[in-house]
């Protein structure tokens, strides 16, 4: 039953030209407090936002359904023709005067040249929101339902991906943010944090159609802003993926460089200790009346009787030889017998060779001659280790330069895809060794060079090989093959990991889709690889079953007549 009070309220609303869908008390039995619909009651319950330093005020509190908390110690203010619509006991409307004006909205760049009537309408449907410095106007995962126009202050936007918080940009006074018309955004993928005390006009999405109808030029500008935002977001996504890949490569490369660098430092330290002892040994040998020629003759006699080098011996055989040498040295009162025995065994010296050498030296000079020979052999061994380690560092540097093509033109070049694959494996060598992965190469004969952007194609190999190495178990196998198929060169990268679930295979190349654990991947690696291959007018495909996954990339041997870099095209595609 409709009460007389309800009919009078409706009549007053229609008389003022208000919207017919005005929020009215739900019908109640006589004697009961009228009940408001949930959306009207919710307007008064913003405790969480008030605790965070924010307040909500309607630009026009007389507009139906817009109620605000009653200020403590102040009576309810009356609006035009009496009080506003009733609300819960804890709520009372503010005076019916606009908090946001057309002049406020004219300070926003996209609204600056709009006529007063349009801005006054927009002000009437806007909601004023104020925030203290350091408060979140919106949080990650919250529903995106309104456009924000920053009247005062501003806020920074932080993107949150796999637990990583990254500054995306800053929205300042006079700028627009939040949900824009035609945007498909449903929830916020990041969070905002105010950089000062801020005042924001919030326009609910239900008013977008009318806003665009009244201000068509604003619609064009907002579409351009949304395009810029998508392009910037795409660039940030690509950059984040590249930085994650770079971080992984850098960590592996640092480990690869540390091993030979540590070997050089260790060898230099040992070499210095041995060289410091040489002058004393020379003095003692001279005291025995031995000439340099006699010492060299003794060394030559020793080396002529050496056995095959220990590299051909098993660990057990080598240990037995060291024990035999140590026994011989102890029998002849040579100090540090086991230390010297290890060096002599490295060079293939046997007890028989020591006996032959002793026949050319007096008994009292034997110890010093053996020490002299041992220092010389050890020094040569240390120098060889330094040379190998330095060579390893040079090879790594060459691989890095080849991988990045730093010293070469940024244009398309003809490259050997096999070399690029090997350079990428060198960059990922730490992971290969850490998991004891067996890498099987099957590079086809007479495979021609391909005209590509080398740095970008190496990024494809990095993403595919990194995924394969992550997927294989300890001691697993990764197979790499190249072959020619007509005007194409095809590369296959296979692993014996668990495989990709069938339901995931259809989405594996989608942006942000990943089968890895949270925090272990961005879901962009394969998407970027696909886009790079497509911009080279190539193809990338997947076949996967439990125990075997194969990615195949086919690239044209010759470059297309007109092309742009793949990553530039990626940004243009995302923006369009």
Q: Where is pLDDT greater, at 412 or 42?
A: 412
- Are the CB atoms for 161 and 202 separated by under 8 Å? no
- Condensed to tens digits (0 to 9), the pLDDT of residues 397-412 reads 776 776 665 445 567 8
Residue 47 has pLDDT above 70, yes or no: no
Per-domain boundaries in the chain: 36-229, 253-396, 418-575
Bridge-based pairing state of the strands 539-545 and 548-556:
antiparallel
Q: Which residues pair with 488 in a beta bridge?
A: 485, 556
Residue 68 has pLDDT above 50, yes or no: no
What pLDDT score does 506 carry? 77
- Condensed to tens digits (0 to 9), the pLDDT of residues 456-492 reads 888 889 889 988 998 899 999 999 999 999 999 999 9
What pLDDT score does 148 carry? 95
Residue 267 has pLDDT above 70, yes or no: yes
Of the pLDDT bands very low, low, confident and very high (cuts 50, 70, 90), residue 570 is very low
- Are the CB atoms for 62 and 17 separated by under 8 Å? no
Cα–Cα distance, 542 to 122 (Å, whole number)? 52
Q: How far is Cα of residue 14 from the mean position of the Cα atoms in its chain?
A: 58
What pLDDT score does 243 carry? 65
User: Which top CATH class is 418-575?
Assistant: alpha beta
144 C-beta neighbours (distance < 10 Å), count: 17
Cα–Cα distance, 27 to 2 (Å, whole number)? 7
Residue 532 has pLDDT above 90, yes or no: no
Beta strand spans in 260-333 (E): none
- Condensed to tens digits (0 to 9), the pLDDT of residues 213-256 reads 999 999 889 888 888 777 777 666 666 666 666 666 676 677 66
Of the pLDDT bands very low, low, confident and very high (cuts 50, 70, 90), residue 274 is confident
| CATH number belonging to the domain at 36-229, selected among 3.30.10.20, 2.60.120.10, 2.40.50.140, 3.40.50.2300 | 2.60.120.10
Bridge-based pairing state of the strands 54-58 and 126-131:
antiparallel
87 C-beta neighbours (distance < 10 Å), count: 24
């Amino acid at each position: 039953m409709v009460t007389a009070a309800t009919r009078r309220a409706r009549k007053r609303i229609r008389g003022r030209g208000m919207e017919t869908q005005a929020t009215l008390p739900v019908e109640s039995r006589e004697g009961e407090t009228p009940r408001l619909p949930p959306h009207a009651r919710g307007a008064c319950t913003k405790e969480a936002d008030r605790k965070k330093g924010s307040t909500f005020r309607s630009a026009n509190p007389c507009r139906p359904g817009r109620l605000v908390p009653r200020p403590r110690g102040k009576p309810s203010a009356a609006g035009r023709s009496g009080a506003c619509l009733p609300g819960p006991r804890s709520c009372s409307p503010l005076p019916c005067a606009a908090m946001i004006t057309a002049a406020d909205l004219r300070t926003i760049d996209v609204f600056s040249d709009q006529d007063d009537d349009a801005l006054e309408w927009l002000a009437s449907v806007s909601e004023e929101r104020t925030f203290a410095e350091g408060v979140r106007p919106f949080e990650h995962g919250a529903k995106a339902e309104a456009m924000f126009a920053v009247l005062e202050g501003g806020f920074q936007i932080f993107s949150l991906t796999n637990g990583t918080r990254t500054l995306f940009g800053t929205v300042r006074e006079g700028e627009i943010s939040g949900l824009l018309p035609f945007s498909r955004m449903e929830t916020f993928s990041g969070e905002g944090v105010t950089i000062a005390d801020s005042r924001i006009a919030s326009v609910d999405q239900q008013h977008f159609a009318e806003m665009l109808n009244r201000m068509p030029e604003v619609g064009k500008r907002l579409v351009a802003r949304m395009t810029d935002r998508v392009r910037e977001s795409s660039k940030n996504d690509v950059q984040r993926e590249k930085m994650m890949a770079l971080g992984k490569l850098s960590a592996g490369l640092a480990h690869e460089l540390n091993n030979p660098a540590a070997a050089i430092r260790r060898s230099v330290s040992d070499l210095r200790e041995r060289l410091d002892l040489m002058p004393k040994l020379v003095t003692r040998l001279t005291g025995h009346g031995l000439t340099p020629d006699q010492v060299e003759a003794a060394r030559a006699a020793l080396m002529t009787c050496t056995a095959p080098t220990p590299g051909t011996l098993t660990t057990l055989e080598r240990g037995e030889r060291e024990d035999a040498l140590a026994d011989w040295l102890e029998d002849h009162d040579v100090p540090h017998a086991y230390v010297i025995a290890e060096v002599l065994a490295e060079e293939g010296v046997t007890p028989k060779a020591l006996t032959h050498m002793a026949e050319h030296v007096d008994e009292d000079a034997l110890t010093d001659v053996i020490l002299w020979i041992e220092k010389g052999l050890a020094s040569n061994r240390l120098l060889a280790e330094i040379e190998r380690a330095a060579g390893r560092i040079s090879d790594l540097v060459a691989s890095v330069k080849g991988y990045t093509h730093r010293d070469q033109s940024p244009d398309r070049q003809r490259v050997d895809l096999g070399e690029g694959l090997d350079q990428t494996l060198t960059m990922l060598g730490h992971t290969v060794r850490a998991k004891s992965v067996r890498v099987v190469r099957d590079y086809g004969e007479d495979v021609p060079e391909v005209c590509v952007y080398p740095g970008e194609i190496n990024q494809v190999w990095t993403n595919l090989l990194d995924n394969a190495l992550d997927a294989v178990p300890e001691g697993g196998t990764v197979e790499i093959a190249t072959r020619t198929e007509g005007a194409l060169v095809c590369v296959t990268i296979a692993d014996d990991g668990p495989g990709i679930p069938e339901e995931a295979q259809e989405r594996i190349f989608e942006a942000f889709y990943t089968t890895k654990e949270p925090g272990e991947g961005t879901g962009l690696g394969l998407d970027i690889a696909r886009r790079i291959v497509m911009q080279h007018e190539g193809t990338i495909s997947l076949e996967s079953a439990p125990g075997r996954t194969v990615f195949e990339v086919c690239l044209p041997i010759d470059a297309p007549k007109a092309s742009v870099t793949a990553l530039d095209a990626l940004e243009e595609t995302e923006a369009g």
